[in-house]
Amino acid sequence: MEKNLFQKLPKVDILMKSEKLEEISKKMSYHNYYQAVKDGIEFFRNKIKNREITDFTEDEVISKIKEISGIKSRPNLRRVINGTGTIIHTNLGRSILNEKITEDLGEILLNYSNLEYDLETGSRGSRYSHIEKLICDITGAEGALIVNNNAAAVILCLNEFANGKNTIVSRGELVEIGGSFRIPEIMKLAGTTLKEVGTTNKTHVFDYEDNIDEETAVLLKVHTSNFKIIGFTEEADKKDIAELGKKYEILTMEDLGSGVLVDFSKYGLPKEPTIQESIKSGIDIVTVSGDKLLGGPQCGIILGKKPLIERLKKNQYLRAFRVNKITISILENIFQYYKDEREAIKEIPILNMITEEKGKVLERAEKLSAILKERNIENSIIETESKIGGGSMPEETVESYAICFTGDAVLLEKRFRGNDIPVIGRIKNDHFILDAKTLREKDFEEITGAAERIFL
């Protein structure tokens, strides 16, 4: 019996020519296709060996091969559906972009570009020139420079301006950001010596002033993005730090973390310090992330006085931190939107989500809930809290609505995550939920399909 079954297993070379597999064979490389067919046959060989089956058909083998090739041909980095309710989710790729931006990006990737070519003179140009003026117009800065991320921005600036000298920072601002960005370690790397001043909860301007000596090169202020000290607290105002810097002719710098260009308090959200305010305060150099509240690509943006930016352009670290054309293309689009705040909120997906009214989120939740019910999948809508994320507004949650499924929450979480396009939700009060704040209507078909495969 068993021997017959082994003999019944199709041969690799014959199966590879099967008409039934023609379609997938065209989509895959020869190597991956060969491997998928071999693995499919092997799967059944093992089943026979372990006496798990008493018979099988060729169609079953073929369908297994199709399943394996689906897995083999999908990239490791792939799209997921964010039902966590955290808008800027560092593990899920931080900010997302709109279609127009990807079209412009495609144009740059599929063709040669003027990345470092000056079209006026026909000679070598600078990759940094394409967006500097635009960024300056929007932020009010005199000069701007883009690097790979904000961590690189801070290292570059401290290395240029404080290498071999001291940098003064408040004890309450020695932060660690996710992914192990730690201010004291970053400073060491940049070659500057950290001089802590003040206390954890209170630092006054005189604390900075009392500690200035001939070794002091930079007064650094760091935005405590991802934590809050509450109660009896005080921090030095950036305006006062800027003035102190001028008085002693010492450079002042602020690591603002999330770069916000929109005043969120206008939209009923907590106030985050904006880039424009930092520039206006008179601080010499400001650094921000591109893919947090700004809603752009991963990058670090350095803003400040023109001669200082020119100095940074000559620092050797810049060669290691330089941005690619992908970043420049996306960032140009993003800053174009910021010329008009309404446009920015409409076109930058994360700004759109952040400012979206609760009623709209409920509408979306109701729509998905109804589609699921139509397909006999039990669910209800619950009120929940979403988060902005991205190391900003750590204490604040935004009211939202979620689809709540019935059934073993741990198992459901795992099965939705295992979907071909993984659906990532969270568990709340022993229920698996998908937060409508971060779900988009274009995800509904996939979510429903996943739910059908899981429940029915």
Ligand X SMILES: *Cc1c(COP(=O)(O)O)cnc(C)c1O
**Which residues of this protein are in contact with ligand X, per CB under 6 A?**
149-151, 175, 177, 181, 222-223, 225, 255, 257-258, 289, 300, 391
Q: How far is CA 50 from its chain centroid?
A: 46
CB of 181 to ligand X, least distance (A): 5
| Closest distance to ligand X from the beta carbon of 246 (Å) | 24
Q: How does strand 123-124 pair with strand 143-147?
A: unpaired
Nearer Cβ to ligand X, position 168 or 423?
168
Among residues 272 and 413, whose Cβ is nearest to ligand X?
272
Q: Which amino acid is located at 453 in the chain?
A: R
The rounded distance, in Å, linking the Cα atoms of 364 and 348 is: 19
Distance (Å) of CA 53 to CA 8, 29, 136, 389: 13, 31, 69, 50
Q: How far is the CB of 271 from ligand X (least distance, A)?
A: 16
Nearer to ligand X, 54 or 233 (CB): 233
β-bridge mates for residue 353, sequence order: none
Least spacing, CB of residue 371 vs ligand X, in Å: 37
DSSP line for 320-357: HHB--HHHHHHHHHHHHHTTSHHHHHHHSHHHHHHH--
* C-beta nearest to ligand X: residue: 257
196 vs 413, beta carbon nearer ligand X:
196
CB of 240 to ligand X, least distance (A): 20
In the complex, least distance from residue 447 CB atom to ligand X, rounded to whole angstroms:
30
Would you give the DSSP letter of residue 141? -
Q: Which residues pair with 193 in a beta bridge?
A: 166
Tokens of 419: 């979907």
| Closest CB to ligand X among residues 254, 413 | 254
Written as one letter, the residue type at 209 is: E
Encoded tokens for 159: 């290395």
Q: Which two tokens stand for residue 9?
A: 């297993």
When the beta carbons of 273 and 349 are compared against ligand X, the nearer one is 273
Nearer to ligand X, 182 or 414 (CB): 182
How far is residue 76's CA from residue 54's CA, in Å, rounded to a whole number?
Answer: 36
Pairing of strands 216-222, 193-197: unpaired
In whole angstroms, the minimum distance from the beta carbon of 309 to ligand X comes to 18
Structure tokens, 183: 């201010």
